[in-house]
Amino acid sequence: MISGFVFRALEGRIVAAVGILLGIGILVPALNLLTPPDSALHIPTYAMSLFGKYLCYALLALALDLVWGYCGILSLGHGAFFALGGYAMGMYLMRQIGPRGVYGNPILPDFMVFLNYKELPWFWHGFDWFVFAMAMVIVVPGLLAFIFGWFAFRSRVNGVYLSIITQAMTYALLLAFFRNDMGFGGNNGLTDFKDILGFSVQADGTRAVLFFMSALMLSLCLILASAIVRSKFGKVLVGVRDAESRVRFLGFRVENIKLFTFVVSAMMAGIAGALFVPQVGIINPGEFAPANSIEVVVWTAVGGRGTLIGPIIGAILVNGGKSFFTGAFPEIWLFALGGLFIAVTLFLPKGIVGTIQHGFKARKALKAAADAEKGRGDAAAVAQAQAAE
């Protein structure tokens, strides 16, 4: 049963993608660690961490594709789950600083000392323990998605209305996390991390492991997502996207189907956020910004929604472009992004991967038609006669 579930996931394209991801996950750290800095093959640590960040974004886009591409839920708040996962990791990293902070308080992070906190808020307890913090990375986004989805899907909020309340959700969290009295460091967020599991977050070796972990988690989530969409459940999911009432009248509980998918997706986004934070070295409320969530939609659309691999490619390409543009021509980046989205919507509605797939299918159909024609000469003659008319 379980083996069938996993086995179905390992279809050709997915195996290839996982192979490439894991190859990159090993090769890039190896080139960083094993080659001398002046070698032509050397990958500098900053570049490795930059690409590691793209892999985290790719995982976020994959998470969005599961709900948007397959279930038709256009979430404009997935950045919130990403940020929550990031904050859970950030809280662990803050607790690891210990007495090495500016104020030297062994328990309280610097910002709490600065804000005159007398003791650690209750929700900070346990975050010094790695396993607990990693559990929170998936539990907190999962729980928020569950509560949100429970109400939204039960009351059948759909389409634009759902998108709007997901935006409102991330915006509300943005405002909340900006407040100093929330206990999450206000607008400065959490930063100045020292080490993770006893290893310095700045060290090349740690960065290399974080990079590999990003590639590994992305691969595992890709396999999980593929297993989900290729199961009967996945077919129901597409049914919900295309003809929700048909699914309901067949006796399925659409609200449970959506809820499960939304929660799984939020957890993936949380993992992405947790891997992102130690590689960029900071998490602040800006990650909750509504615009961030909208950008995720753009990556997914560019790569091709409902293809799983497309959003990964889209996230890496668009963010690569962003890094280039913001370095070379910072003032036109936003226009480039907006233009890209419009161009994709108009000319590549299926995204890059969707269009390529479509092309393959069309070619196959053409070939099949041509073969059929060869097989039956008179049919070809009829077709020709028809074409001549």
Q: How far is the CB of 256 from another protein (least distance, A)?
A: 6
Count, residues near another protein per rule CB under 8 A: 27
What the block records as the tokens of 66 is 């599961």
Q: How far is the CB of 302 from another protein (least distance, A)?
A: 21
Q: Which is nearer to another protein, 8 or 42 (CB)?
A: 8
Per rule CB under 8 A, is residue 5 in the interface with another protein? yes
Q: Which is nearer to another protein, 253 or 363 (CB)?
A: 253
Residue whose token pair is 């500016």: 102
Q: Which is nearer to another protein, 136 or 259 (CB)?
A: 259
The span from the CA of 62 to the CA of 53, in Å, is: 14
Q: Which is nearer to another protein, 122 or 249 (CB)?
A: 249
Residues 202-231 that bind another protein (CB under 8 A): 228, 231
The region, left, alpha or beta by phi > 0 then psi within -120 to 50, assigned to residue 281 is left
Backbone φ and ψ for 283, nearest 5 degrees, come out as -135, 125
Q: How far is the CB of 239 from another protein (least distance, A)?
A: 5
Q: Which is nearer to another protein, 260 or 325 (CB)?
A: 260
Q: SS3 of 104, please?
A: coil
- Residue pair 70/229 in contact by the 8 Å Cβ criterion: yes
Within a 10 A sphere around the Cβ of 7, how many other Cβ atoms? 11
What the block records as the tokens of 100 is 């090495």
Residue 353: exposure state from Cβ atoms within 10 A (0-12, 13-18, ≥19): buried
Q: How far is the CB of 365 from another protein (least distance, A)?
A: 10
Residues 229-288 that bind another protein (CB under 8 A): 231-233, 235-236, 238-239, 242-243, 245-254, 256-257, 260
Which of 161, 349, 193, 173 lies closest to 279, judged by CA? 193
Per rule CB under 8 A, is residue 4 in the interface with another protein? yes
Which of 241, 183, 201 lies closest to 65, judged by CA? 241
Residues 167-206 that bind another protein (CB under 8 A): none
Residues 94-113 that bind another protein (CB under 8 A): none
Residue 380: exposure state from Cβ atoms within 10 A (0-12, 13-18, ≥19): middle
Q: How far is the CB of 361 from another protein (least distance, A)?
A: 10
Q: Which is nearer to another protein, 154 or 179 (CB)?
A: 154
Q: Could you list the residues that contact another protein (CB under 8 A)?
A: 1-2, 4-5, 228, 231-233, 235-236, 238-239, 242-243, 245-254, 256-257, 260
